[in-house]
Amino acid sequence: MKINNHWFNELTKVQSPNFDERPIEEDMSLVVVHCISLPPDQFGGNYIDQLFCNQLNPEDHCYFKEIHQLKVSAHLLIKRCGEMIQYVPFNKRAWHAGESNFKGRPRCNDYSIGIELEGTETTEYTDEQYEQLVSVIKSLLNHYPKLSTEHIVGHCDISPGRKTDPGNSFDWGRLELA
């Protein structure tokens, strides 16, 4: 996978307005793995795109009444079928981590790349998602010199007590990056 101007060349792009400048533009030194399903425990459709683009209709599902005003995004989504969508260029700060801390360094959005997996904390992820995630991370490691295999974490690791994703259903052993 090739990265050009901080976008993957061959992916669908759905540009989210929910990003801003990083304090240090070239500081991409952490990868954060998340999970998301909209509505909860349901897969497919374009509700994630709508959420990340501030277009989620609160009338489409009762849960959306609680979240439709959130201003959130991730850099990348990997759907259950392996399809990938990029929302924010990697050199910009996506709004995915919230209150967070990695090894004593707060504000993980400032220096991280957020990858959402379509899924839940209790549903196994698909082979296609693991294959794509490995490919994405390898490309990011090759392109951004501050990233390392020791700096790939779950949202639960940087926001303990507040977040639990990607959950026990995520098999960290499947990230064969060597």
Q: Convert the pLDDT of each residue in 85-111 to its tens digit.
A: 999 999 999 999 999 999 999 999 999
Residue 117 confidence (pLDDT) above 70: yes
Tens digit of pLDDT for each residue in 125-134? 999 999 999 9
Share of the chain above pLDDT 70, in %: 99
Q: How confident is the model at residue 177 (pLDDT cuts 50, 70, 90)?
A: confident
Average pLDDT, the chain: 97
CA distance 100 to 104: 10
Residue 178 confidence (pLDDT) above 70: no
Active-site residues: which are they? 116
As a whole number, mean pLDDT of residues 61-70 equals 97
Domains of the chain: 19-174 (3.40.80.10)
Instruction: Tokens for 91, please give them.
Output: 């050199």
Task: Using CB atoms within 10 Å of the CB of residue 49, give its burial: 0 to 12 exposed, 13 to 18 middle, 19+ buried.
Answer: middle
Residue 176 confidence (pLDDT) above 90: no
As a whole number, mean pLDDT of residues 1-25 equals 96
Q: What is the pTM of this model?
A: 0.97
Tens digit of pLDDT for each residue in 44-65? 999 999 999 999 999 999 999 9
CA distance 82 to 89: 20
